[in-house]
């Protein structure tokens, strides 16, 4: 068995989409004769917890825990937050008006904590892993970000050891859409780009999740970029109920909705459908799960009809999420209204595909997500301005549902995105590294 070292910040019991990519790779790598050793932080500050994901960690997987210090307790103390309160990505607060202390904290985040608040893990992780790797047979390491501080660990190990290095970009770095909210100075922006470029140039291979982002990384300095998307785990769908009729016309969303993903025109369209089609209003449900900005919830609750057919369930464990998929008629796929949205393919999209439920997408029609949805004949993506088209598409789905109460589609093209198939592609990239000079 070939051994590799995977360095990741997110690992069970962390919940959310960021953890699942490498959790699933680790699950399937042994079947391809690759034995992963996983490096994770000890006592990290995870925004959401999901203990059910521990079930996917292979029993004999070696785990190296390295202590991490994060500034979040200082942030909570400075802003008057409860010590037990979870902090959103990068110290971003919810949509309410920010206090003076929060504004100062955001500026500190953007100008001193570069590339991110996990930067204090770099030095202790480098020291521990340098000693470990010198006494092991491992010749390949993989780092995955965000947080992109993890890539700096790979950069330091690459410089000091004769080792192959793959840098995995699940999201952009210097061009990630929320970076400007931290009010970075010109110097801070320069440092972000400088560190990013060093990683892109020094890594033997860069992998990312979409065609658009691969092009961006090449433009920023990467010499060798491959695309391995996220995917779905076929094991999760072994007992999935595809054939039980839906009792309600139930539109569901799972994930994050923040202020630059909030589709107010969609909520208005659903309000209009409820008002103009009485039978629609009688059977309709909108259910949102995950991390939803307070301003989004406030907007929906002010709509007189939609608010009566709306439910917010917060973050739920992955096994319960699968049960919600079973009950849903259609699934919402929402993308950011930002410049890098065309390359954004949320990990949950692939689970959406595996449910065989119709997907209602809002985002760039020329983007990577749209291409995949069209390729798999799994729904339709609309631009934000296409209000009438969104109205008619949901109305058409409702009329079809009225006939037999079944919502599943027949396409099987999504199977190319199974975690097993994607792991096979990763293994090919790992094996090709022996030819890299």
Q: What is the pLDDT of residue 266?
A: 94
The larger pLDDT score, comparing residue 91 to residue 392, is at 392
CA distance 385 to 389: 9
Residues 205 and 271 grouped into a single domain: no
Residues 224 and 350 in one domain: no
* Same-domain status, 48 and 185: yes
How far is Cα 10 from Cα 15, in angstroms, rounded to an integer?
A: 8
The residue-averaged pLDDT of 186-215 equals: 96
Q: Taking residues 86-106, report their average pLDDT.
A: 63
Most confident range, picked from 30-44, 343-357, 375-389: 30-44
How far apart CA 417 and CA 227 sit, in angstroms, is: 12
Rounded CA separation 44/86 (Å): 11
Q: Which of 96-100, 263-267, 284-288, 404-408 has the highest mean pLDDT?
A: 284-288
| Residues 6 or more apart whose Cβ sits within 8 Å of residue 240 | 322, 325, 326, 354, 355
Give residue 90's pLDDT.
45
Q: What DSSP string runs through 391-413?
A: HHHHHHHHHHHHHHS--B----G
Q: How confident is the model at residue 341 (pLDDT cuts 50, 70, 90)?
A: confident
Q: Give residue 313's pLDDT.
A: 93
Q: What share of the chain is helix, strand, coil (3-state, %, to 5)?
A: 50, 20, 35
pLDDT-derived band at 106 (thresholds 50, 70, 90) equals confident
Domain boundaries, position 246: 234-416
User: Residue 360 forms beta bridges with which residues?
Assistant: 332, 380
Torsion of CA 126, 128, 132, 134, to 10 degrees: 50
User: What's the per-residue H, E or C state across 170-217?
Assistant: CCCCCCCCCHHHHCCCHHHHHHHHHHHHHHHHHCCEEEECCHHHHHHH
Q: Between the CA of residue 91 and those of 68, 74, 181, 329, 426, what are the distances in Å?
A: 17, 11, 10, 35, 32
Q: Are residues 221 and 75 in the same domain?
A: yes
Say which CATH number the domain at 315 has: 3.40.50.2000
Tell me: do 213 and 244 sit in the same domain: no
**Of residues 266, 244, 389, 238, the one with CA closest to residue 329:** 244
pLDDT band at residue 91 under the 50/70/90 scheme: very low
Query: In terms of domains, do 339 and 238 share one?
Result: yes
Per-residue pLDDT of 116-127, as tens digits, reads 999 999 999 999
Of residues 171 and 244, more confidently modeled: 171
CA distances (Å), origin 369, targets 211, 212, 229, 230, 366: 10, 10, 11, 11, 8
Q: Residues 291, 147: one domain?
A: no
pLDDT at 79 over 60: no
The Cα-based distances of 409 to 254, 322, 338, 397, 406 in angstroms read 20, 17, 31, 12, 9
Mean of pLDDT values over 317-338: 91
* Burial environment of residue 290 by CB neighbours within 10 A (0 to 12, 13 to 18, 19 or more): buried
CB 402 within 8 A of CB 218: no
For every residue of 328-387, DSSP letters joined together read -SEEEEE--SSTTGGG---THHHHHHHHTBEEEEES-TTSHHHHHHHHTT-EEEE-TT-H
pLDDT number for residue 410: 61
Q: Under DSSP, is residue 85 helix (H, G, I), strand (E, B) or coil? A: coil
Let me know whether 96 and 169 are in one domain. Answer: yes
Tally of structural domains, the chain: 2
Residue 169 shares a structural domain with residue 29: yes
Single pTM value for the model: 0.89
208: number of Cβ within 10 Å: 24
DSSP secondary structure string for all residues of 234-270: GGGGTT---SSPPSSEEEEEEEEE-TTT--HHHHHHH
pLDDT value at 96 more than 70: no
Given this model, what pLDDT does residue 78 score?
59
Backbone dihedral angles phi then psi of residue 424, each to the nearest 5 degrees? -60, -40
Residues 206 and 269 in one domain: no
- Crossing angle (nearest 10°) for helices 318-327 and 348-355: 40
Residues 423, 396 share a domain? no
Report residue 84 CA to chain centroid gap.
24
Please say whether the beta carbons of 382 and 366 come within 8 A.
Answer: no
Q: Is the pLDDT of residue 231 over 90?
A: yes
Of 5, 12, 25, 21, nearest in space to 427 by CA: 25
DSSP strand pairing (330-334 vs 249-257): parallel
Q: How confident is the model over 301-308, as a mean pLDDT?
A: 95
* 173 & 108 share domain: yes
User: Does pLDDT of 412 surpass 90?
Assistant: no
């Amino acid at each position: 068995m070939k051994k590799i070292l995977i360095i990741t910040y997110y690992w069970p019991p962390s919940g959310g989409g960021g953890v699942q990519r490498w959790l699933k790779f680790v699950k399937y790598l042994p079947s391809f004769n690759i034995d992963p050793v996983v490096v994770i932080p000890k006592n990290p500050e995870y925004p959401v917890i999901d203990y059910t994901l521990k079930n996917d960690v292979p029993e004999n997987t070696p785990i190296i825990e390295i202590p991490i210090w994060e500034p979040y307790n200082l942030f909570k103390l400075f802003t008057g937050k409860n010590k037990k309160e979870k902090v959103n990505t990068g110290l971003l607060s919810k949509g309410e008006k920010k206090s003076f202390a929060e504004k100062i904290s955001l500026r500190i985040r953007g100008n001193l904590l570069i590339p991110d608040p996990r930067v204090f893990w770099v030095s202790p992780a480098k020291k521990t892993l340098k000693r470990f790797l010198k006494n092991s047979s491992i010749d390949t390491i993989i780092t995955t970000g965000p947080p992109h501080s993890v890539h700096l660990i790979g950069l330091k190990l690459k410089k000091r050891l004769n080792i192959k290095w793959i840098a995995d970009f699940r999201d952009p770095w210097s061009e990630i859409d929320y970076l400007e909210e931290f009010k970075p100075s010109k110097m801070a922006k320069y440092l972000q780009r400088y560190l990013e470029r060093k990683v892109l140039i020094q890594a033997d291979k860069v992998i990312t999740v979409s065609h658009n982002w691969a092009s961006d990384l090449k433009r920023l300095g990467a010499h060798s970029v491959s695309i391995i998307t996220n995917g779905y785990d076929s094991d999760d769908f072994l007992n999935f109920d595809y054939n039980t009729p839906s009792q309600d016309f139930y539109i569901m969303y799972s994930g994050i909705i923040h202020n630059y993903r909030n589709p107010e025109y969609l909520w208005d369209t659903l309000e209009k459908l409820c008002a103009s089609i009485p039978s629609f209003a009688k059977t309709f449900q909108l259910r949102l799960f995950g991390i939803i900005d307070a301003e989004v919830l406030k907007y929906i609750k002010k709509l007189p009809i939609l608010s009566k057919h709306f439910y917010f369930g917060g973050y739920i464990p992955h096994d319960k999420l699968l049960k919600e998929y079973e009950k849903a008629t259609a699934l919402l796929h929402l993308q950011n209204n930002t410049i890098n949205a065309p390359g954004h393919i949320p990990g949950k999209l692939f689970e959406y595909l595996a449910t065989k439920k119709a997907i209602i997408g809002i985002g760039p029609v020329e983007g990577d997500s749209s291409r995949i949805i069209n390729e798999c004949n799994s729904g339709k993506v609309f631009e934000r301005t296409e209000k009438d088209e969104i109205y008619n598409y949901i109305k058409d789905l409702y009329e079809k549902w009225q006939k037999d109460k079944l919502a599943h589609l027949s396409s099987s093209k999504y199977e190319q995105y199974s975690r097993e198939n994607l792991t096979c592609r990763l293994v090919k990239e790992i094996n090709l590294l022996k030819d890299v000079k």
